[in-house]
Chains A and B, each alone.
Chain A
């Protein structure tokens, strides 16, 4: 085997991993602030994939552009969902939050199954098979674009949290909820904003995912688990951890596909999850609380 194939597979894993990372970032932000685990995360990602598929098929809009309106709509969905439903579960028993979102996830999976059927829905881009030659390494054009867009979206979110007053207020809620409420922050609204931002990540990541994978209802639970593995490996609540975890899972899946068997690649991810849970439950980038 040509040695450059390993490098190619690693590069491919890094690029896919950045899109995974953006998706997981949404989960991490929601958990880090609202303290609710979104078990319907992957299912929302698949809905965004279908949205990108529809916009491309019906209006010819490239998912790289469609990710912006999709992210905006998903922000609205997340905002409304938090206010209408999830907020009354904040602070309640973990299993109750979990059951609420599992119920939602089941409805989404089967809703998409009823609407779109079980067949895969791909987007056929004109540049779908183009590639760049970077030195000895061949890089897929779509994957590179998707990764760049994911990185841009993650950076935007990072800057928002770091430098805007609202972003600072949300971080204050995450650090000290009582203190935040005492100084007069509208926690209810900030939580809704956070859930909205988390789902905006999902909307953008889903649109990008549609360029490198085909939308299918059954992908929902798979992506939920991938997102969980990533944030736990990276450290739940850590923003950089989500991206690092995404890249790590992307690489390990790509290498496992090459060395073991493509159908066994997620076994490596689950093994990694078990190891991290046991050895370093706060994650690679996480702080011990």
Chain B
């Protein structure tokens, strides 16, 4: 457990935040799009981190909540003209309902660890194939939103700037929420459940409730990320949004940054996404234009981190730069 940030780190964080708020003044379109990706992965990574890093429940099906959030909000917008500011509540409700079913099945019937992870994969894959056959949602052919560069910003129809600030707000909000939750009674219950479920039960913690809360909060947060991607990318394909590789992408940043830490996901996203983008640009520069390079690098990053520094980059970074209050 890492102590809270010291005053030096707080000042550094404020400077960084102002730099990011001011970034659109100097950054070009490409840099902005990379930053948007970083914020997005920091956000969904944080949502996943709440469930795995804090409550210790390994989910490998978080693409399910992204996809459901995206589809629900996009369908409401396309079929009924209901904007995403309202649609996001429907998206949250649907994703949380799925999360509740998965959590209830898993925790009631004692499905743990790898088995629970497989349960989450099974639900995501089941839904992916299902959406491939739902004609109302465009089936395998996908769902498309009309691109409007200078549209109604309140309906998330706009350019890069709009999505930049939205992504930044999401990432910061997720960070603040996690920092808050980590200090609540529920947050401490999660840690207890993660470390030793039997002991947690023995001291009177309602383990089932604690785990359910983790799944509900995590799936609801992830659904908001889904709404964001749907309106940012303007398209949805079941084979892409629900794919198991999307679920794995979500876990990359928190694993590399540091599981169960408040700053892990954002640190991980700031490390991985630029590296991946640089690699794509480099290989493209040398004429190797294959999609596999970036992903293979991510795979290697996962292995290196888990072999050399399984607790992630952030705890080490915080120690080295002395960003946290010293605890004896």
Contact = CB atoms under 8 A, between A and B. Distances in A.
Interface string A74-115: 000000000001001000101110111011111101110110
Interface string B111-133: 10111011101110110011011
Interface in B263-317: 290-293, 295-296, 298-303, 306-307, 310
B133 A274 contact: no
Given A106-B295, A274-B122, 18 more contacts: A37-B114, A94-B58, A95-B58, A95-B259, A100-B307, A106-B299, A106-B302, A109-B295, A110-B292, A110-B299, A221-B244, A221-B245, A225-B125, A225-B244, A232-B115, A232-B118, A277-B119, A281-B110
Interface string A150-194: 000000000000000000000000000000000000000000000
Interface of B: 52, 58, 105, 109-111, 113-115, 117-119, 121-123, 125-126, 129-130, 132-133, 244-245, 248, 251, 255, 259, 290-293, 295-296, 298-303, 306-307, 310
Q: Which of B109, B298, B306 has the most CB of A within 10 A?
A: B306
Nearest to A88: B307
A63 B114 CA distance: 34
28 contacts: A37-B114, A88-B307, A94-B58, A95-B58, A96-B306, A98-B117, A102-B302, A103-B300, A103-B303, A104-B299, A105-B299, A107-B296, A107-B303, A110-B299, A114-B296, A217-B292, A228-B118, A232-B115, A232-B118, A263-B132, A270-B122, A270-B125, A273-B119, A274-B119, A277-B115, A277-B118, A277-B119, A281-B109
A89 B251 CA distance: 19
B113 A94 contact: yes
A234 to B, nearest CB: 14
A259 to B, nearest CB: 14
Interface of A: 37, 85, 88, 92, 94-96, 98-100, 102-107, 109-111, 113-114, 217, 221, 225, 228-229, 232, 261, 263-264, 266-267, 270-271, 273-274, 277-278, 281
A265 to B, nearest CB: 9
| Main DSSP-derived SS at the B contact region | helix
A204 to B, nearest CB: 25
Given A98-B58, A106-B302, A114-B292, A281 B115 contact: yes
Contacts of B290: 113-114
B255 A110 contact: no
Contacts of A88: 307
A267 B126 contact: yes
